[in-house]
Amino acid sequence: TSVQIVKFHPHSEREELLSSSDDGIVSIHNLKTSECLAIFSEHVSVATALTFGFHGRLLASSSGDKVVNFYCMGTYKHIKTKAIMDELKGALFLGSQHSSIVSKSKMDGDCNKRILITAGSKGVIQLFRVTFDEKRPGDILCEALDEIRAFDYKSPHINPSAFDSTLRKYESITSLHYLKLKGQVMLVTEDYNFLFFNVDSKRGSLTREEKHLIGRNDDILDLSIVPQRCRGSQELSNSSCDTGTI
């Protein structure tokens, strides 16, 4: 089997590395001892995204098997499977400042609700409100909030002439990314476009920005935010063994 994704736990003191392989397995290893702490085998196809919520206490994984699995990181146990009915390519937890039910005055408090965003092969972005309490992980809830299409060709924000006339009805989304400084969600499409959405915290929805970026002429394999002095830029790698910055 080959490894598809690697991800560190957001809290460095835990020193844990997560990985997903093409057999659908998600593994967690201790970086100091190399001990395998947990093996999750609920997916029947490769996990395409791993995202942490609730200060690293909850893990969500998406996959092409059209579900999101939730895991309690305190017990390393699977606690819920949510059917999405889309071959998912991305999943992303937003922070408490984007909770649809929490005002900004409470954003630093102990909120038990977060927004989860998923996207995949249909070009549809779905938002869910996840309710989780580590003391009662089995009571986790995942409620649908909103659903929008990444490309709305009737929108005045989109110029159809800028795209090929043979566009498919749906534009597949290959990954989701959170731009923390701008409070935006950026997604990458199968035809290498970068689309930007603002988060409506009160309504729990996304609004499309007018701008979009045309990416590279090859598959984008990975993308990461460059910190500090290069804030706001993204580092890309593609299948031509090339990297670039936007």
Number of C-beta neighbours around residue 61 at 10 A:
26
In the predicted structure, residue 99 carries a pLDDT above the cut 80? no
Burial of 37 (0-12, 13-18, 19+ CB in 10 A): middle
Q: What is the average pLDDT across 147-157?
A: 64
pTM metric for this prediction: 0.80
Residues 6+ apart with CB under 8 A from 141: 129, 130, 131, 132
Distance (Å, whole) CA 100 – CA 112 = 12
Closest residue by Cα to residue 43 from 7, 70, 18, 17: 70
Mean pLDDT of the chain: 79
Distance (Å, whole) CA 190 – CA 169 = 13
Cβ proximity of 197 and 149 under 8 Å? no
Distance (Å, whole) CA 66 – CA 86 = 5
Query: To 5 degrees, how large is the angle CA 81–CA 84–CA 87?
Result: 110
- Residue 86 vs residue 109, higher pLDDT: 86
pLDDT band at 226 (very low <50, low <70, confident <90, very high): low
Calculate the alpha carbon distances from 118 to 95, 148, 149, 157 in Å: 15, 11, 12, 22
Mean pLDDT lowest among 65-74, 193-202, 216-225? 216-225
Share of the chain above pLDDT 70, in %: 71
Tens of pLDDT, residues 168-189: 544 788 888 888 777 789 888 8
- Residue 241 vs residue 129, higher pLDDT: 129
pLDDT band at 96 (very low <50, low <70, confident <90, very high): low
